[in-house]
Structure 1
Amino acid sequence: MRIGLYPGTFDPITLGHIDIIRRAAVLVDRLVIGVAINRDKGPLFRLEERVAMIEAECAKLSEETGTEIVAHPFENLLIHCAHDVGAQIIVRGLRAVADFEYEFQMVGMNRALDTQIETVFLMADAQHQAIASKLVKEICRLQGDVSKFVTPAVNDRLLEKLA
């Protein structure tokens, strides 16, 4: 069984994330969405809220793709999380060249920790390349319309949270 791990904070999950999840799901038999507990980033949504949004959005994708997709919170090293869930592949989404520089360093460090786990990069679809959770939150906080960047359910959660 091929198990992939797609890590992130998903605060909140965006259409860009969903695009990567949909495309990664066809590469593996089971896709684990690693929801990072990153206290340094000061997430808007609590861990339980982020997991619930991911589970709701991924239920549809799992049906579409026939791939099991599950959310898995983690607070340890990414490579340790990969071991915990039995992943052989780490999936990373790239939006721009700037993302690649950071991700390139991460791959080098992860390979030094475990040469058996491969990292696969998926380029964000052109229509989703500008989407970043941080910017979505900022636009919404300033009362801008983020409905082009998130699903209706996530949009509602953002509006509730920032009301």
Structure 2
Amino acid sequence: MSGEALLFIEDDDSGRELGLFNLRKAGYAVDGARDGAEGLRRFDPERHAVVITDVKMPNVGGLEVLREIRARSPETPVLVITAYGDVDLAVAAMKAGAFDFIGKPFHREHLLLTVAKALERGRMRAELLRLQRQVAGIERPIVGHSPAMARARPRGSGGPGRRAGARDR
């Protein structure tokens, strides 16, 4: 583990402490929150690489947490956990943008594997955005009319596939 920071939101004290213990033992820096409202206050998109939230919580529920975090930081993966593992709830969480849905009780290994996958996806999305910005910053139209320049142009701009010296008819 590289010490990525996570936010773990769980209203059940023993469930939260067990989750925090297991994630910290695996090498993550984990912030805990007792409910959705506290979780939303503590969430920092610059710090938290993944958010793990329970669904059924007083005041601000997990689906509301999910929607708010997705609105504030669409690239941050959110894992939804619940003891109420019904299909409709799982579908609602996934439609709202959850990275994954984990039923309780869950095995430590399952949680850690899902977190690792979410972190990898987050890294891949960040790299994709970086590369897209890099390409957008350096992509310029090709200027020139030599045969070599004609071959270098992308298709549709008189580029490859067009013979040097070919006339437009």
State the TM-score bracket (shorter-chain normalisation): 0.3 to 0.5
TM-score by length of 1: 0.36
TM-score, normalised by the number of residues in structure 2? 0.35
Larger of the two Rg values belongs to structure: 2
Greater fraction strand = 1
